[in-house]
Chains A and B, each alone.
Chain A
Amino acid sequence: MSTSKTNNAVPDSVPDNTAELRQPMELDRQILHIKTLYEATRELSNAVKPSAVLNTFLPIAMGPLGLTFGFGVMRRAGAMRVAMLGLGASDKTQFDKRGELLVDKFFPSNKTKPTISSPTVLAGQHLSYSADVPTGTHVIAVIPLDKDSHVVLGFGPKLTGEAFSDVEIDLLNGLVNILSTALKKACGEQDLNERNTHLETSLVQTQEAREALNRRAFQLRTLYEATLELSAINEPTALCNAFLLTLMGTFSFSTGWIALYGPSDTEPDVAYRGPEPDCLTYLAHSGRDKVLGQFVGLKDKMPQRSQSVFLENAGARADLPLEADVAMLFTLNNDWRGCIGLFSPLSDGAMSPDMHQLFLSLVGTFMVTLGNAKHTQLIHDLNSDLAARNVELQNTLDDLTSARQEIGLLSEAKEAIIGLVQGEVLRVFRASWFDVSLIILAGIVLGGLFNFSSPSGIDLVPKSFLEDPPEMVAAKNTLHLAEGGAVIVDARPSEFFKQGHIKGAISLPEDMFSFVYSMKLSSLDPAIPIIVYGRNLSRHYDVDVARELTELGHEKVLVFDGGLDMWEEAGYEVEK
């Protein structure tokens, strides 16, 4: 290091002891040196890449000085670059192996602060003893470029074998400085280039990302809209129709169909959009076996519950009930299997993976909505069923209520009947005025009838009650008439006659009138007056007998209605 000199050392200070001799030579040499410097400046300014700068620099530096060999090792951003001139392939290997160590010697990578801050040239025989440099290396120049870019240069001895003069060292210094500048510039440019390139790449990537985002946004919007649209529909067939429209719009197909088959006793849900409307009926009636056949054909790839699978195989797609460029099989629950087919795309080209993904997502949404719709339908059906059952229940309740009312009425009737029967039975075993009246009434009726029909029937009301009363006579007149020859007849029963009677009276009891009359009075002169007496509360014997006598032809029959009492009161004679 003692021999080193900074490039700031101006040739002014070079001792001028052989001035005259050496002057022209010196001048040439200076011109050469300046030329060299200029050359180097010019050449190096052309080179763009740092490695090219290094390669260019070696001949420019070695030529004017007549050096046997030269090398440059550059470590830049961890990468090693080696430039050699006048060295063999073994040295190249050596540098590849140990170049790092060489650079490390001057710029230890573990030190943050650089030990050498400006380009420095070292010269001396001792340098060649280092293992890291080729044998014979006389000069080593170290150039710090920036924080992690360093260059180590090495030069061999002159061809002439002379030692390096100070001037030459200065020249080298100058050259190294130029190299340093050129390298810094080249490095800067290279960095700039790299950054440009990186920037462009980034730009492209950004663009791609934006497109991807756009696509994603489109897919999400489609998905959102489809979800929104489908979620508003509860009816499976309408849902299929709406979804089919969404699919055809999203993926640009002019024809499409959806068929969903449930258990064999249920109606399939089908939708078709395209040129032939008959296909809808065909799907509904004949599509089942073909679609379900595809499920069987898929075997273990068959979509499980609430899964969907693209039908990739074109041959399989041909077996579907309707044509399809894109077809998907899906299973809704375990019971419902369906197929979606899209046909005749409006734009060419296969579907991108994104679109595939979107298709799957849409179908997923569709299946969820369809499942909900099915559940809604099931709930609706169950509700209808429930309502019907409610009505039935209500009817049953009504029936029960009316039956209960009927039972109530019947039990009331029963109570009434039992009450009646018990009342009647009690009446039977009790003295009842009704029965008494009935018996008496029966007696009256039977008696009346019997009396009416019997030959020995009697008058219900005595004749004396209805007829005009006969001629009456008082006690005094009776006596007077009797004295005049009139016959007095006692009409009372004989027992009463025996108890006492008017003196001279004949007993002619009313109840055996005919007999006694025939015996006693039948021979009496009809002209003789007859006075009849005898009556009581219950019988007017006198009237009855007087009537009989009159009927028998007696002309003057009188009734003494006062009877025995009046006779006695009058004080007339009574016979006992």
Chain B
Amino acid sequence: MMRRILPILLLLFALALTACSQDKGAVAGTYAAQSNETEIVLTLKDNGKGTWSTDLDEIEFKWSIRKGGELWLHTKEGGVIPGVISDDTITMILPGVDQLVFQRQ
């Protein structure tokens, strides 16, 4: 019984995943923000992956869009960095860091 049900469940699961990624195309793109003297470049790819680049680092992450125009960056370590999308800007707050405003490039 279980063996019959599982493929169906997996299919449902896959469908749900595709449903989640419908708005990504609109948000995807390259954004940049200035913090102190550091320029941060945020690249959001269509496939839900993205990079956070500074002069020294390039951090990979996954991103997703939540309801209410929220952008979540899912870190590799299991954290979520929430951001707010409005038009071409993404506003983001990192703990201990000032508010970052990314402009679409």
Contacts and interface: CB of A to CB of B under 8 A. Distances in A.
Given A518-B52, A518-B57, A519-B35, A512 B96 contact: no
A509 B79 CA distance: 9
Given A442-B2, A511-B79, A516 B54 contact: no
B38 interface: yes
B95 A522 contact: no
Contact of B57 (A439, A458, A508, A514): A514
B8 interface: no
B59 interface: yes
A493 B6 CA distance: 36
A446 interface: yes
A522 B54 contact: yes
Interface string A527-569: 0000000000000000010000000000000000000000000
Given A494-B95, A512-B94, A519 B77 contact: no
B30 to A, nearest CB: 17
B2 A516 contact: no
B23 to A, nearest CB: 21
In the complex, which range does the number of interface residues on chain B fall in?
20 to 34
Interface string A482-498: 00000000000110010
B94 A514 contact: no
A515 interface: yes
A309 interface: no
Interface string B1-26: 01000100000000000000000000
A439 B54 CA distance: 46
A512 B78 CA distance: 7
A497 B40 CA distance: 25
Contact of B38 (A439, A456, A511, A519): A519
Contact of B2 (A438, A518, A520, A544): A438
A515 B75 contact: yes
A510 interface: yes
Contacts of B94: 512, 515-516, 519
A522 B95 CA distance: 15
Contacts of B80: 511
Contacts of A507: 95-96
A150 to B, nearest CB: 152
B95 A509 contact: yes
A513 interface: yes
Contacts of A439: 2
Interface of A, helix, strand, loop or mixed by DSSP: helix
Contact of B95 (A438, A442, A446, A497): A497
Contacts of A509: 79, 95
Contact of B75 (A446, A511, A522): A511
B76 interface: yes
B104 interface: no
A497 B94 CA distance: 13
Contact of A516 (B73, B78, B95): B95
A506 interface: yes
A517 B59 CA distance: 11
A515 B76 CA distance: 10
Given A442-B2, A446-B6, A519-B38, A514 B59 contact: yes
B62 interface: yes
A512 B75 contact: yes
A495 B47 CA distance: 31
B77 A513 contact: yes
B56 A458 contact: no
Interface string A429-469: 00000000011001000100000000010100000000000
A11 B54 CA distance: 229
Nearest to A539: B78
Contact of B56 (A513, A522, A544): A522
A509 B81 CA distance: 11
A456 B77 CA distance: 10
Contacts of B62: 456
Given A438-B2, A519-B38, A522-B54, A514 B77 contact: yes
Nearest to B2: A442
A112 B13 CA distance: 164
Interface string B58-99: 010010000000000101111111000000000000111100
Question: Which of B6, B59, B62, B94 has the largest count of A CB atoms less than 10 A from its CB?
Answer: B94
| Residue from B62, B95, B96 whose CB has the most chain A CB atoms within 10 Å | B95
Contacts of A520: 96-97
Which of A446, A494, A514, A517 is most buried by chain B, counting CB atoms within 10 A of its CB? A514
B77 A512 contact: yes
Contacts of B54: 518-519, 522
10 tightest A-B CB contacts, nearest first:
A511-B79, A494-B95, A512-B79, A518-B57, A507-B96, A514-B59, A522-B56, A511-B77, A507-B95, A511-B78
24 contacts: A438-B2, A439-B2, A446-B6, A456-B62, A493-B79, A494-B95, A497-B96, A507-B96, A508-B96, A511-B75, A511-B77, A513-B75, A515-B52, A515-B59, A515-B73, A516-B94, A516-B96, A517-B57, A518-B54, A519-B35, A519-B40, A519-B94, A520-B97, A522-B57
Given A458-B78, A518-B52, 15 more contacts: A456-B76, A508-B96, A510-B77, A511-B79, A511-B80, A512-B77, A514-B52, A514-B59, A514-B76, A516-B94, A516-B95, A516-B97, A518-B56, A519-B38, A522-B57
